[in-house]
Structure 1
């Protein structure tokens, strides 16, 4: 591996934990961008656009590969963001009960040396069990998933909400598709195994 500087354009501790799995040194910077969806924008377009914006918005001082990521949950065709409150989390989980819910996670790698960016998205489907109100409230009170798209933490007790998970990379559900990221980094000759 060369000595490329990696920057994660996120303050999320969950994304940082995923990056740490790769064993590659990186720094974290807070992205600065408006995350409001555009009129008529599909979930796929939204997460790719925001991943790119996040990657480009970080003020890096040296040549770097800046990694941006964004995720949305889609319930009944509607883009759902983070709940922020107990009431919204309960409402989201109630809507998801017994359904297959799609998550879209956008990923971008911005090469500051040549001002080029590569981006794409991963889809991941979560099949929720039929959940009663008491189960939903107990879960929300235990994990307080107020800053998680879909109102759950799959890396924690959220697994108890699911019947089945379907997708290429389970890390996608946490917010950073590592398999796709490794493919993109390989094009920049960054490989954690070399």
Structure 2
């Protein structure tokens, strides 16, 4: 797929190794490359989750941009928040069981930080996109069966909404369901347009 006219001199780079974000970005039909930034993703003391995800999204974009002058660099980061506390990736089966038990019947907010950095001009666009999941009351057997089938152990919240995880929900609330997977495409398309890249242009 050739670059659009606006990107012949300005490559698009996704600062992420996430296969989910790569798949989402590929839906826009634009040529891009992806690389994993090496940054400290630790939480600062008393840092609100909204500030955390925007700071990390910007840090990822800036880290990749250092070696790619003249590129448009996309950074993104996401956390799940329940009862005011950040939920990380479970990493294993038992932790995932505990996470899903803890969110049964509750509303969980997924906050996605999005950054678009023009490394040629230094212009930066930054936002936090919320999306909310209301879980139905889950039985322990349902949790076990779901986890054994899908094994979402590298996903914040212990589910894959693009897969069988949809069966765990009562309803979804938000402007862009892509944000739940990790890349809010509606906001990203607007950011790209601000930099002269229209994904619908010939």
Q: Is the TM value for this pair above 0.5?
A: yes
Aligned pair count reads 194
Residues 115-151 of structure 1 deviation map (CA, whole Å, 9 limit, x = unaligned): 2321111110101011011111111111111111111
Measured in 2, the distance between the counterparts of 1:67 and 1:24 equals: 13
- The residue that corresponds to 1:53 in the other structure is 59
After superposition, residues 117-128 of structure 1 pair within 5 angstroms as 117-128=124-135
- The residue that corresponds to 2:50 in the other structure is 44
Q: Which consecutive aligned stretches of 4+ in structure 1 deviate over 6 angstroms post-superposition?
A: none
User: What TM-score comes out, normalization by structure 1 length?
Assistant: 0.97
Measured in 2, the distance between the counterparts of 1:99 and 1:34 equals: 31
Structure 1 residue 79, shift from structure 2 partner: 0.7
- The residue that corresponds to 2:16 in the other structure is 10
Measured in 2, the distance between the counterparts of 1:31 and 1:133 equals: 38
Match of 1:33 among 32, 39, 60: 39
- The residue that corresponds to 2:176 in the other structure is 169
Structure 1 residue 62, shift from structure 2 partner: 4.3
After superposition, residues 16-95 of structure 1 pair within 5 angstroms as 16-58=22-64, 60-95=67-102
Measured in 2, the distance between the counterparts of 1:147 and 1:179 equals: 25
Helix, strand or coil at the partner of 1:2: helix
User: What TM-score comes out, normalization by structure 2 length?
Assistant: 0.93
Measured in 2, the distance between the counterparts of 1:169 and 1:74 equals: 18
Measured in 2, the distance between the counterparts of 1:33 and 1:75 equals: 25
After superposition, residues 135-174 of structure 1 pair within 5 angstroms as 135-174=142-181
Residues 81-107 of structure 1 deviation map (CA, whole Å, 9 limit, x = unaligned): 111111111111111111111110000
Match of 1:186 among 166, 185, 193: 193
